[in-house]
Amino acid sequence: MPYQDDDKIGRRKDSAKIAISLALKGKWQEAINLNLQMIEHYPQDADAYNRLGKAYMKTGQYFLAKEAYEKALSTDKYNIIAEKNLKRLSIMSQEDMQIVSVDESGEGLKPQVFIEEIGKSGVVALINPAPALVLVKIEAGDEVTLSAQDNNLIVENKRGEYLGTVSPVHGRRLLRLLSGGNRYSSTVVGSADGYITVMIREIYQHPSQAGKLSFPAKMTEIDNIPADNDEEYVMEDIIESLSEE
């Protein structure tokens, strides 16, 4: 009956909203469990398979993530999200996929960190990026760290693995401000095909640095042009892999 169909659609949408909320809060195991329940009731739900793949990626379960994205693609052969993530995972060997690197931080996805503040934050493309096998494990929304090394500002993940170097256009200025007492947070915006961008945000300005902008407008304009002019990398996983119908 029509009202029964409407009720079923309503329950499905409600479950999808809860699954997205769990991901935003970083409750990845709960997100996995809920999406598996949804797939049991709605086996043709490509969005649920994509959300499941995202959760498996965040918990380092790459083989299961690959299976989830393959199911999404078999359900919807034009599913761009599944295609893109399968392409990313294709560089990993079977052995690599068996190595589970669980994200125990409990950190959720925070879309608000991508809101730029003029002069205080900027999206920068890293130079000399890490090998693709390292970058494939990096997700949009991951928090990363900044550190000085040989007069360069480098970016590392929380396990201390090198991801890339901030270009001198910004790196030299930020190094001076850091040495002057400023503090910064940094978050991955996008990572694919040997290309990685991060959002760097000033979270504290030392009194001695008053009046000094972390990201002068002209410098930001120069560095915000993607190397291949492909905007799909910007916030890709935040927006797409958590999407619902």
Provide the CATH topology of domain 111-240: Alpha-Beta Plaits (3.30.70)
Return the DSSP state at 20. H
Cα–Cα distance measured from residue 245 to residue 241, given in angstroms and rounded to the nearest whole number: 12
Q: List alpha helices for the chain, DSSP H.
A: 2-24, 28-41, 46-58, 62-75, 80-89, 94-98, 132-135, 168-179, 217-223, 236-240
pTM of the model: 0.68
> For the domain 2-98, what is the CATH superfamily, name and number?
Tetratricopeptide repeat domain (1.25.40.10)
Yes or no: say if 214 and 224 are a contact pair by the CB < 8 Å rule.
no
Cα distance between the two ends of the chain:
22
Q: What is the pLDDT along the chain (245 residues), one digit of tens a residue?
A: 444 455 566 788 888 889 888 888 888 999 999 999 999 999 999 999 999 999 998 888 999 999 999 999 999 999 999 998 898 888 888 777 776 655 545 555 555 555 678 889 999 999 999 998 888 888 888 889 999 998 999 999 988 999 999 999 899 999 999 999 999 999 998 887 778 999 999 999 999 999 999 998 765 544 544 443 333 333 444 444 444 44
Domain ranges of the chain: 2-98, 111-240
Closest CA to 65 of 17, 136, 141: 136
